[in-house]
Amino acid sequence: MKRGAFEVLIQPLLTEKITAMREGANKVGFLVNKDANRIEVKRAVESALKVRVERVNILNVRGKKKRLGRFVGKRSDWKKAIVTLKEGEKLELYESA
């Protein structure tokens, strides 16, 4: 089943760690669909953001257990993609701040 770029990419991740990777190693992070694989993420980033991708690393993040008094809940599991851009590529998405 073929998915569109915006069905695969949910939102960019803006954490301190990913910001440091963006500045130092030319990597960006995205929260992606739980069913997405590396190939779909690469195609989605290249088509939606008009940049060339060198490699994609995928991580499954398990949700934390949280308590409120005697009640226990669990946050949702989610999938994170770290995308390495090719040499000389830059995302204007982050540069407008």
pLDDT, residue 37, reads 94
Alpha-carbon distance of 32 to 40, in angstroms, equals 10
5-85: CATH class: alpha beta
pLDDT, residue 96, reads 58
pLDDT in tens, 8-32: 999 999 999 999 999 899 999 999 9
pLDDT in tens, 62-89: 999 999 999 999 999 999 999 999 999 8
What ranges do the domains of the chain cover?
5-85
Indicate if the pLDDT at residue 47 is higher than 70.
yes
**What burial letters (b/e) apply to 65-95, b meaning 16+ CB within 10 Å?**
eeeeeeeeeeeeeebbbbbbbeeeeebeeee
Beta strand spans in 1-97 (E): 9-12, 27-32, 53-61, 65-68, 71-74, 78-85
Predicted TM-score (pTM) of the model is 0.86
